[in-house]
Amino acid sequence: MGRITLEKVRKSFGETQVIPPLDLTIEDGEFVVFVGPSGCGKSTLLRLIAGLEDVSGGEIRIDGRPATDLPPAKRGLAMVFQSYALYPHMTVRKNIAFPLKMAGMSEDEKKSRVERAADVLNLTDFLDRRPGQLSGGQRQRVAIGRAIVREPAAFLFDEPLSNLDAALRVGMRLEISELHERLKTTMIYVTHDQVEAMTMADKIVVLRKGNIEQVGSPLDLYRNPRNRFVAEFIGSPKMNIVEGAEAGRHDAHAIGIRPEHIDVGEGPWEGKVGVSEHLGSDTFFHVHETGLADVLTVRAPGEVNHRAGDKIRLSPQLDKLHRFDRDGLRIT
Amino acid sequence: MATQHSRAAARFMIAPSVVLLLAWMLIPLGMTIYFSFLRYNLLMPGANPFVGWENYSYFLTDPAFQTAIVNTLLLVGGVLVITIAGGIALAVLLDQPMWGTGIVRIMVISPFFVMPTVSALVWKNMFMNPVNGLFAYLADVIGVQPYDFLTQAPLASIIGIVSWQWLPFATLILLTAMQSLDSEQLEAAEMDGASAWSRFYHIKLPHLARAITVVVLIQTIFLLSIFAEILVTTNGGPGTASTNLTYLVYAESLLRFDVGTGSAGGVVAIILANIVAIFLMRMIGKNLDA
């Protein structure tokens, strides 16, 4: 079980308020991702839940029981750190067994649990090595192993993949998702990478300056962003924002249209091609001199050739257009 | 970069300093060995005949020699134990965030800046003196007989003085090592349910292992040759109760004016120091690998 509720949780460091009063419920078994630009308070929020920072106000409940004043070890949560935080002088086996040793578990129980965790994470061959002899991905798995042996109510991940190279990151992303499928334990995952958020989450919490901008499923956020910040943050490449006369024609202060929702060929908009990025499956054009915005990013499916300087016509898919008012809120 | 040619040039260019350093070490060493085989007493001027191993047998069978060996080992061992235990304790304390850390740190380090002779004199006259010393005064206040440290426990007193001098060094090295510990490791241990003591024992202490090795090696080198503190406090006495090997060599050559035996003692001290060094490297040197 791992249902976590935050009620009016606040955090300030001295005078500066990092997290204004905030309410959030994380259901049992959910994979929740906190996402936002750096400095948005997502790591602080995670550390508040972990108990590594004290809240300045409000209440945290884990499975209905108040946990606000509990020390980290008593909350029944396990955390995977960005730097992995493995104990360098211990073997992998001892690293994974450390929380069990601290809990005073018997040797037999310890051994069987460590071996089960090692089995799940494909670490059996490395149990007698030290962290220094492992690759980044293996260290990451040891850190996860140390978390799962405790059978916690929830896992907390603090940007666990940011120290890995791109290829490994994709692999580990999948492994963590599969682990969640298997364990069905609540997971809270902090990242600044919206791709990680979109691919892994059941529920995404978008944060800006400590405020929750929107909570919802990945596709919900993609289709119905509540405001311009969420609209621009979710989706890759970023949504195009057009202000001025063209927005006025749609009765809005600004309109947003994603690169994948603009068709190349015929249409009302015209511009000059700048840089093209050929990915094989898709081609992204940066289009200038449209009179709408500095640059529009456009996705064309497949291999489409336009040279720099070519004039092309564009047509936005009107049903996929987002309209925003003066305060940045989306008009529905 | 490192072509055959440039390497040859590099060797050629460092040759003068290597030769100079070798001469710097080898000439005194050679002269000490040479003198150790001569009958060379300043009170009996004249011919200095070659006497073979006589000086060595004289030095090694001297009853003071055994005492000096034991005293040397006790001095080194005692100071190491006190400074490492105290250094770890102080490092843990100074690592805590607190008000006035900067000033406290400077105060903790300051004994290291005091010259050995000066600190020994201060301890001898202002603290341990049985009539005027601070400890005698405190004993007086609580109404007990003042203790004459340097007469009744000369070696222990010297161990105390030397420990006071070397504690800052150990603290400094261990504190910097402590500060290099990744805070996420401690947080991870906290999440894993480790108490403050477990975090110290399982995380901090192993992290300090290498720094402790460095402290032990460096301090041993200096502690084997402690001299000034003994000279200004006890003069090796009473009897030979606080004579270490260095002081015994000094006594032979400059109190008894027997340069030959003194040199033999010096050679013996070099050999013993090397034996200790080999043992140390065997025992704890492996901590420095990797």
Q: ipTM, 2 decimals?
A: 0.80
pLDDT digits (tens, 9 = 90+) for A119-169: 888 888 888 999 988 888 889 889 999 988 888 889 999 988 888 888 888
Co-location of A181 and A65 in the same domain: yes
Interchain CB distance below 8 Å, A73 and B194? yes
- Could you give phi then psi for residue A9, rounded to 5 degrees? -75, 130
CATH of the domain at A124: 3.40.50.300
Domain boundary among the residues A190, A205, A228 is at A228
Co-location of A57 and A88 in the same domain: yes
Co-location of A184 and A90 in the same domain: yes
Q: How many Å separate Cα B236 from the centre of its chain?
A: 17
Interchain CB distance below 8 Å, B191 and A102? no
Number of structural domains in chain B: 1
Q: What is the mean pLDDT of residues B103-127?
A: 88
Q: In 3D, which of A300, A294, A304 has the Cα closest to residue A314?
A: A300
Co-location of A165 and A296 in the same domain: no
**Is residue B148 in a domain?**
yes
Q: Mean pLDDT, chain B, as a whole number?
A: 88
Residue with tokens 């200096």: B222
Residue with tokens 């000066």: B118
Co-location of A243 and A129 in the same domain: no
Co-location of A289 and A264 in the same domain: yes
**pLDDT value at residue A206:** 92
Residue with tokens 């995404």: A204
CATH of the domain at B255: 1.10.3720.10
**Is residue B244 in a domain?**
yes
Q: In 3D, which of B102, B252, B78 has the Cα closest to residue B167?
A: B78
**Is residue B17 in a domain?**
no
**pLDDT value at residue A217:** 93
Q: What is the mean pLDDT of residues B151-173?
A: 91
Domain boundary among the residues A169, A197, A228 is at A228
pLDDT digits (tens, 9 = 90+) for B227-282: 998 999 888 878 888 888 899 889 888 888 888 888 999 999 999 888 888 888 88
Residue of B nearest to A88 (CA): B207
Interchain CB distance below 8 Å, A50 and B185? no
Chain A residues touching B211 at Cβ < 8 A: none
pLDDT band of residue B1 (cuts 50, 70, 90) is low
SS3 of residue A186 by DSSP: strand
Q: Nearest CB to A81: which of B188, B202, B209?
A: B188
**Is residue B138 in a domain?**
yes
pLDDT band of residue B96 (cuts 50, 70, 90) is confident
Q: Nearest CB to B184: which of A85, A90, A132?
A: A85
Number of H helices, E strands in chain A: 9, 19
Residue with tokens 């499916």: A301
Co-location of A310 and A164 in the same domain: no
**pLDDT value at residue B289:** 61
Task: Please indicate if any CB of chain A lies within 8 Å of the CB of B210.
Answer: no
**Is residue B12 in a domain?**
no
**pLDDT value at residue B288:** 65
**Is residue B221 in a domain?**
yes
Share of chain A above pLDDT 90, in %: 25
pLDDT digits (tens, 9 = 90+) for A40-73: 888 889 999 998 888 888 889 988 888 888 888 8
Co-location of A19 and A37 in the same domain: yes
Spatial contact of B67 and B240, defined as CB atoms under 8 Å apart: yes
Interchain CB distance below 8 Å, A146 and B182? no
Domain of B254? 53-288
Strand pairing partners for A191?
Answer: A35
Instruction: Mean pLDDT check: name the lowest of A25-39, A186-200, B45-59, B201-215.
Output: B45-59
Co-location of A289 and A218 in the same domain: no
Task: Please indicate if any CB of chain A lies within 8 Å of the CB of B207.
Answer: yes
Q: Which amino acid is at A22?
A: L
Domain of A266? 237-331
Please state, in angstroms and rounded to a whole number, the distance separating the CA atoms of residues A187 and A195: 17
Give the gap in angstroms from C-alpha B287 to the nearest C-alpha of chain A. 11
Number of structural domains in chain A: 2
Number of H helices, E strands in chain B: 14, 0
**Is residue B215 in a domain?**
yes
Q: Is the pLDDT of residue A39 over 90?
A: no
Spatial contact of B274 and B245, defined as CB atoms under 8 Å apart: no
**Is residue B254 in a domain?**
yes
Q: Is the pLDDT of residue B21 over 90?
A: yes
Q: Mean pLDDT, chain A, as a whole number?
A: 89
Spatial contact of A131 and A87, defined as CB atoms under 8 Å apart: yes
**pLDDT value at residue B287:** 67
Q: Is the pLDDT of residue B2 over 80?
A: no
Task: Please indicate if any CB of chain A lies within 8 Å of the CB of B191.
Answer: yes
Spatial contact of A206 and A41, defined as CB atoms under 8 Å apart: no
Please state, in angstroms and rounded to a whole number, the distance separating the CA atoms of residues A85 and A95: 10
Co-location of A223 and A241 in the same domain: no
Co-location of A22 and A137 in the same domain: yes
pLDDT digits (tens, 9 = 90+) for B42-95: 888 878 888 888 888 888 888 888 899 999 999 999 999 999 999 999 998 888
Residue of A nearest to B208 (CA): A89
Cα radius of gyration rounded to whole Å, chain A: 23
Please state, in angstroms and rounded to a whole number, the distance separating the CA atoms of residues B2 and B7: 6
Domain boundary among the residues A167, A200, A228 is at A228
Q: Is the pLDDT of residue B285 over 80?
A: no
Chain A residues touching B190 at Cβ < 8 A: 52, 71-73
